[in-house]
């Protein structure tokens, strides 16, 4: 079974982490748990403060390449942590709310589809 047999639509790793010290940045820890890197955390925090921004604006303000910004925004969007409106991205929900409302539903949806596929194989 080779990787060439499948088209990967989205990929993530979910980490169950525990802080090593008592002084933590909860947003950073939650995003790290969802495989968001330091640049992605920086972009998420900027967008959550601004509520809406284009990749060009974020690139200019954070002094990052536009390709780097777009890659992170697409990942955050795929996780359901932010929304996309035309060329702009928005962050109108708290991180906790986005995880509960969208991220968890997307992950559970993937798991349900896998289980249904397997049940179909068993019944087929």
pTM comes to 0.87
Q: Does the structural domain 3-123 have CATH classification 1.10.10.10?
A: yes
CA distance 7 to 34: 22
Residue located via tokens 């969007």: 77
Rounded to an integer, what distance in angstroms lies between the CA atom of residue 62 and that of residue 69?
A: 9
- For residue 2, the model assigns a pLDDT of 63
- Sequential pLDDT tens for the chain (124 residues): 567 888 888 889 999 999 888 889 999 999 999 999 999 999 999 999 999 999 999 999 999 999 999 999 999 999 999 999 999 999 999 999 999 999 999 999 999 999 999 998 767 5
């Amino acid at each position: 079974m080779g990787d060439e047999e499948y088209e990967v639509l989205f990929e993530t790793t979910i980490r169950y982490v525990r802080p090593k010290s008592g002084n933590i940045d909860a947003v950073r820890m939650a995003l790290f748990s969802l495989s968001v890197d330091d640049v992605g955390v920086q972009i998420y925090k900027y967008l959550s403060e601004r509520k809406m921004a284009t990749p060009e604006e974020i690139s200019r303000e954070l002094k990052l390449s536009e390709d780097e910004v777009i890659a992170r925004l697409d990942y955050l969007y795929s996780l359901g942590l932010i929304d996309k409106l035309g060329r702009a991205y928005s962050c109108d929900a708290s991180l906790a709310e986005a995880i509960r409302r969208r991220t968890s539903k997307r992950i559970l949806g993937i798991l349900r589809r896998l289980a249904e596929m397997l049940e179909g194989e068993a019944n087929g």
